Amino acid sequence: MVAQVYSDVENDFRERYTNYLRTMKQKIYDTNLGYTELEDERKLVNQQAMRTPGRRGEIIKSEEIDKEFSRRYSEHKKAMFYYD
């Protein structure tokens, strides 16, 4: 029962954080211009994880940031494939 409550809270947190990450801007590959909000968020999460290692929140945030970078990279590749 307690594990179910924790998993529900964790899933809710993941969903809200994923939606938050999708609003962040990130520069397109191979350019030095643009926004770096997503990369800055990754740096903040990594710094917090070094200060307080083992916290589940930072682990989840790091996982979701990696997923968001992967999602954007695959979308970018698909767009480039269809563009050619």
Cα separation, 74 vs 60, in Å, equals 21
| pLDDT tens digits for range 3-17 | 676 788 999 999 999
| pLDDT tens digits for range 59-75 | 999 999 999 999 988 88
Domain that holds residue 23: 2-83
Q: Between 44 and 29, whose confidence is greater?
A: 44
What is the value of pTM for the model shown? Answer: 0.79
Written as six digits, the tokens of 10 are: 């964790």
Q: How many domains does the chain have?
A: 1
Quickly list DSSP for 14-46: HHHHHHHHHTS-BPPTT-S-S-BHHHHHHHHHH
Q: Which residue has the tokens 């191979």?
A: 30
Q: Residue 2 — pLDDT band, cuts 50, 70, 90?
A: low
The alpha carbon of 16 is separated from its chain's Cα centroid by a whole number of angstroms, namely 11
